[in-house]
Amino acid sequence: MVIFLVFWLTGPEPRNLFYYIFCTMTITNGRLGFTLFILISLVIISCEDTKNINDDMKAEYNYQHIGDSLSIISQQVLLRNVSRELNAGGPTVAIDFCNLNASGLMDSLSNLYGVTISRITTQPRNPGNMASESEVGILAGMMNSRSSDTLVMGGENVTYYKSIRLGMPTCLKCHGSTDDIEESTLEIIKERYPDDLARNYQLGDFRGAWKIQF
Ligand code: HEC
């Protein structure tokens, strides 16, 4: 009893609720108080754990949700721009429009949500879009799985990936075989991207992924 009173007076800051409940219950009720304290603690701890898990799930859901929306918007913007230029001037003119930087909206989206939006692949046309070593595994996983997206949470870094497939015949005009790509277009591609690896794809092929870094 005296020992607990000493604990009580010399103990940590009041914010340590557990400590005070422990002292009070043990001082006032002896062994029963101690047993009750253990039981109540277990309940509180298990509730806290559930709360943390729920918070984590919520955060994960939010990232997934925002990442998904941003990748869809980005894809639409890009598609609209490429299609518009294809109709207006053909593939040779449209070439510049499969580049994310060609669209001011991508910057606005990035600024608005504080994210960095890019695309990665293991067969890039633009070498700047080459997947990192760890991302090669992520892409392989996505290519072989039914799921079209994945969230990677490592410490403070959260990154969302959403797969890109060659979903329309239009894509083949610049990423298909030599039969699909007009000669003049091919010339420009070769000239601008001498290390181009992004040809000879077929409709429906896995092409890479959107990468949204939070
Ligand atoms: C008019 C030609 C053209 C069309 C049509 C086109 N692309 Fe591209 N694509 C390019 C060029 C050029 C780049 C390189 C852009 C850059 O410098 O970042 C590129 C880059 C990409 C990249 C980034 C990875 C890399 O290889 O650098 C992806 C992913 C991609 N295209 C997917 C598609 C999909 C999917 C379609 C169809 C919806 C499509 N493209 C249609 C010309 C085209």
What is the spatial distance between Cα 49 and Cα 133, in angstroms, rounded to a whole number? Answer: 35
CB-ligand 1 contact for 129 (6 Å cutoff): yes
Protein residue whose Cα sits closest to atom 36 of ligand 1: 171
Protein residue whose Cα sits closest to atom 41 of ligand 1: 171
Which SS3 state, helix, strand or coil, does residue 179 take?
coil
Do residues 139 and 121 touch, judged by C-beta distance below 8 A? yes
pLDDT of amino acid 27: 63
Strand partners, 117: 212
pLDDT of amino acid 14: 45
Q: Which residues, given as ranges, of the chain have pLDDT below 50?
A: 2, 5, 14-15
What is the spatial distance between Cα 142 and Cα 150, in angstroms, rounded to a whole number? Answer: 8
Protein residue whose Cα sits closest to atom 30 of ligand 1: 98
Atom of ligand 1 nearest to the CA of 207: 29
pLDDT of amino acid 115: 93
Task: Determine the residue of 75, 163, 168, 174 to mutate for testing ligand 1's pocket, defined as the one with the most ligand atoms within 8 A of the Cβ atom.
Answer: 174
Do residues 172 and 194 touch, judged by C-beta distance below 8 A? no
What is the spatial distance between Cα 128 and Cα 194, in angstroms, rounded to a whole number? Answer: 13
Q: What phi and psi values does residue 179 have, to the nearest 5 degrees?
A: -70, -35
Cβ neighbours for 205, distance < 8 A, ≥ 6 positions apart: 165, 166
pLDDT of amino acid 15: 42
For residue 30, give Cα distances in angstroms to 33, 59, 112.
5, 43, 59
Atom of ligand 1 nearest to the CA of 78: 38
Question: Tell me: the pLDDT tens digits for 26-84?
Answer: 566 667 776 676 666 556 655 555 556 577 777 888 999 999 999 998 999 888 888 99
Atom of ligand 1 nearest to the CA of 197: 26
pLDDT of amino acid 147: 84
What is the spatial distance between Cα 119 and Cα 139, in angstroms, rounded to a whole number? Answer: 11
Is the pTM above the cut of 0.85? no
What is the spatial distance between Cα 130 and Cα 96, in angstroms, rounded to a whole number? Answer: 18
Protein residue whose Cα sits closest to atom 8 of ligand 1: 98
